[in-house]
Structure 1
Amino acid sequence: MSTAKRVILAVLATLLIAGAALVYPWLARREAWIGATWQQPWLLLGLLVVPVVWYWGIFAQDARKPRLRLGTVSPLLTGPRGIRSHLRDLPGAIRAIAVAMLVLAMGRPVSVLRDQQADDKGIDIVVALDLSGSMRAVLDAKQSDLPGAPRIPKNKRLTRLDVAKLVLQDFIGRRRTDRIGVIVFGKAAYVLSPPTMDYPLLSQLVSKMSLSVIDGSGTAIGDALGTAAARLRRSDAISKVIILITDGDSNAGSISPEYAADLAAGLGAKVHTIQIGTADEVDVEDGVDLFGQPRYARQRFPVNPELLRKIAQKTGGEAYVATDAKALSDSMHDVLDTLEKTRFEASIASFEDLFPLLLLPGAVLVGLDALLRAWLLRRFP
Structure 2
Amino acid sequence: MKRFGLVLLQTLLVLALALVYPWIARSDAWFSASFQYPWLLLGLIVVPFILWWGTAGQDHRAPRLRVGTAKPFMSGPRGLRARLRDAPGVLRAVAIALLVTAIARPVSVLRDQRGDDKGIDIVVVLDLSGSMRAVLDAKPGDLPGNIALPRGKRLTRLDTAKIVIQDFIGRRKTDRMGVVVFGKNAYVLSPPTLDYHLLTQLVSKMSLDVIDGSSTAIGDGLATAVARLRRSDAQSKVIVLLTDGDNKEGLVSPQYATELATSQGCKIYTIQIGNDDEVEVEDGVNLLGQPQYTRRRYPVNPELLKWIAKQTGGQAYIATDAKALASSMHAVLDQLEKTRFEASRSSFEDLFSFLLVPGVALVALDALLRAWLLRRFP
State if a TM-score over 0.5 links the two structures. yes
Unaligned runs of 5+ in 2: none
Q: How does 1:63-78 map to 2 (within 5 A)?
A: 70=68, 73=71
Q: Which residue of 2 aligns with 1:13?
A: 10
- 1:99-127 Cα shifts (integer Å, max 9, x gaps): 42343344344567889999775433221
**Aligned residue in 1 for 2:301:** 303
**Within 2, Cα distance between the matches of 1:363 and 1:202?**
48
Q: Give the one of 256, 265, 268 matched to 2:265.
A: 268
Give the Cα–Cα distance (whole angstroms) in 2 for the partners of residues 286 and 77 of structure 1: 101
| Partner secondary structure for residue 215 of structure 2 | coil
1:187-206 matches, within 5 Å, as: 187-195=184-192, 202=199, 205-206=202-203
* Identity rate, percent: 56
- Give the conservation status (yes or no) of the 8 Å contact 1:134–1:301: no
2:128 corresponds in structure 1 to 131
Instruction: Give deviations 1:42-95, integer Å, cap 9, x for gaps.
Output: 23223234345445655677778758575794x667644556665555455444
Computing the radius of gyration from Cα coordinates, the structure with the larger value is 1
**In terms of mean alpha carbon deviation, does 149-158 or 191-200 score higher?**
149-158
Distance of 1:97 and 1:174 partners within structure 2 = 49
Contact 1:101/1:362, CA 8 A, preserved across alignment: no
TM-score normalised by L of structure 2: 0.73
- Whichever residue aligns with residue 361 of structure 2, its letter is P
Distance 1:275 1:63, change over 3 A: closer
Q: Report what 1:239 is aligned to.
A: 236
Bigger mean CA deviation after superposition, 296-305 or 265-274:
296-305
SS at match of 1:190: strand
Q: CA offsets, 1:115-141, max 9 Å, x none?
A: 9999775433221111112334566x6
Which residues of 2 match residues 15-30 of structure 1 at below 5 A? 15-27=12-24
What is residue 45 of structure 1 aligned with on the other side?
Answer: 42
2:298 and 2:78 map into 1 onto residues whose CA distance is 112
Cα distance in 2, alignment partners of residues 225 and 296 from structure 1: 31
State the secondary structure of the residue aligned to 1:274: strand
2:356 equivalent in structure 1: 356
CA, structure 1 residues 83+190, in 2 after alignment: closer, same or farther (shift >3 Å)?
same
Q: 1:76 to 1:255 in 2, by over 3 A?
A: same
Count of paired positions: 371
Q: Give yes or no for contact 2:129–2:182 (8 Å, CA) kept in 1.
A: yes
Is this contact kept in 2: 1:146–1:167, CA < 8 A? Answer: no
Q: Is the 8 A contact 1:274 1:322 kept in 2?
A: yes
Cα displacement (A) at 1:19: 1.1
**2:302 paired with 1:287:** no
Counterpart Cα distance in 2 of 1:52 and 1:288: 76
Contact map agreement 1:132 1:216 (CA 8 A) in 2: yes
TM-score by length of 1: 0.72
Supply the AA of the counterpart residue of 1:282: E
Give the C-alpha shift of residue 185 in structure 1. 0.8
Which amino acid in the other structure matches residue 356 of structure 1? L
Bigger shift: residues 209-218 or 82-91: 82-91
* 1:233–1:349 distance in 2 versus 1, CA, 3 Å: farther
Partner residue, 2:143: 147
Q: Tell me the equivalent position of 2:179.
A: 182
| 1: CA distance, partners of 2:90 / 2:147 | 71
Aligned-residue CA RMSD in angstroms?
A: 4.6
1:276: how far off?
Answer: 3.7
Amino acid at match of 2:129: S
Residues 298 and 374 of structure 1, relative CA distance in 2, 3 Å threshold: closer
Cα offsets for 1:197-245 (capped at 9, x unmatched) = 6667655654554333321112222321233234434545432210112
Matched, 1:107 2:104: yes
Give the Å deviation of 1:187.
Answer: 1.0
Report the counterpart of residue 228 of structure 1 in structure 2: 225
8 Å Cα contact 2:88-2:366 kept in structure 1: no
Deviations 1:133-177 (A, max 9, x none): 2334566x6748943587889998765445544544554455555
Q: Distance in 2 between matches of 1:78 and 1:288?
A: 105
Indicate whether 1:318 and 2:315 are aligned: yes
Q: Which amino acid aligns with 1:225?
A: L
Counterpart residue number, 1:335: 332
Quickly say closer, same or farther: Cα 1:27–1:360, change in 2 above 3 A: farther
Amino acid at match of 1:287: D
Q: CA–CA distance in 1 between the matches of 2:205 and 2:83?
A: 79
Tell me the equivalent position of 2:367. Answer: 367
Question: One-letter code of the match for 2:143?
Answer: P
